Structure 1
Amino acid sequence: MSALQASLRAAFGAALGLVYPPTCIACGQATAQPHALCPPCWSGLRLIERPFCERLGTPFALDLGVGTLLSPRAIAEPPVFQRARAVALYDGTAQDLVHRLKYGDRLDLGRPMARMMASAGAELIADADLIVPVPLHALRLWRRRFNQAALLARGVAKASSLPCDVRALARVKRTRPQVGLTRAQRAENLQGAFRVPEAAKPRIAGRRVLLVDDVATTGSTGNAASRALMRGGARQVDLLTFATVSAETT
């Protein structure tokens, strides 16, 4: 971009800000910066920071002592994916943002959410070769018109300069909604739901895949998608989401 183009773009942005003042991406209140959160919404975002389970990425319900790396759940039920990371717990502001993106057609939220995901998942990104979103079944994609996981995956790819392949994984089974199902029911519902197309296998063979979704609840979707990627030839799969459900509530 030339100096003139940059100057014109800055001037246009400033003029646009006078007509359309920046607002909070969660509640719509005025903010100092565009694509940001206001102080109350920011305080309602329960960011996940260490110490947390190094496998599931969930904070410990209790202080388990210095040197503890894995939660009891990760030890009792090791996930298929190697590691999971998320920006925040799935409540308050995080839940509002996910719902606005997913059900409110707020595609503009994808960019700031993806930037936060790229920051939270920096260690996973450093080890990844390829970003792959969790796919929707064709009928659900037609009804919703977009895949929020693919939108976030493209944003993370842009922020990290990693390639993103939205066709590396396909959802071949039309599953019922996961809401309200137990962990066992979710796993059964997703059995055989994902597959790596034959044409995509060379693109993931031996590669370290970063799987992207909006929310991790019981881990069933991440496990099913990761299992399909590993069977398709991936060397390793890590999971990055915007939000995750706390271990003590799953």
Structure 2
Amino acid sequence: MSTPERKQPRIALVTGAAGGIGAAIARRLSKEGVKVVLADLRADHLAALVAENSGPFAALEVDLTDRASLPDFVDRAWEVFGGLDTLINAAGLYPSAPLLEMRDDQWDQVMDVNLSAVFSLSRAFARRVVDAGTGGHIVNISSGASARARRGAAHYCTSKAGLDMLTKAFALELAEHRIHVNAVSPGFIEVDSEVNPLGADYVRSIRGGQPWPRAGVPEDIAGAVAYLCGPDAEWITGASLSVDGGAGTGNAALPLS
């Protein structure tokens, strides 16, 4: 039996594209000939990314906490290059807040950006793709924190656990429309982030438990995303690909028992 024709993505919308993992994904897709719509709240950072890149980039400012505006935002992104076949939900917040001190608004903001916005964007994107009959890809950036709780991150860990199930639910219902829905689950990735700064003690501790002898970089995640959107992953949907230097296997810092 012959396999269906497998197509590379041609037009992608990437959220959280102003820096870090999102920017690396945008650059990687662009190098593979994909037209990329960059989405973020930080318009100045987006403009810098457009200026540095020779490929087809376009930038759109978006506030992911404004859920009511997200379907219209997808419509705007659709019109930039005349369609979309790929959505990369890379935007995410990782603030630290001890459980007993966490405010309701801190919880709500993380859930809005990390989970609710992904639902709204993915649903709007899927509706357009189903109407167009073209098929496509959704890739969500999850986290190893979806399976392992962390101190000060109850909101973040819960949002990523929900994101993993959301990925499966979308994959289940959209397979008949030839829309692949997968997740990439990064371990600790070294990025300079003004949005999600990390303390030195935290970085030393988390890197100490990682088996692989180097830190992760955004390009590691970008490569995994490109794979899931490419022809060799045509029969993969509903999966979560761990890219974590082996951190999910256990704690390498523990001594011999």
TM-score normalised over the length of structure 2: 0.31
Structure with max Cα Rg: 1
TM-score normalised over the length of structure 1: 0.32
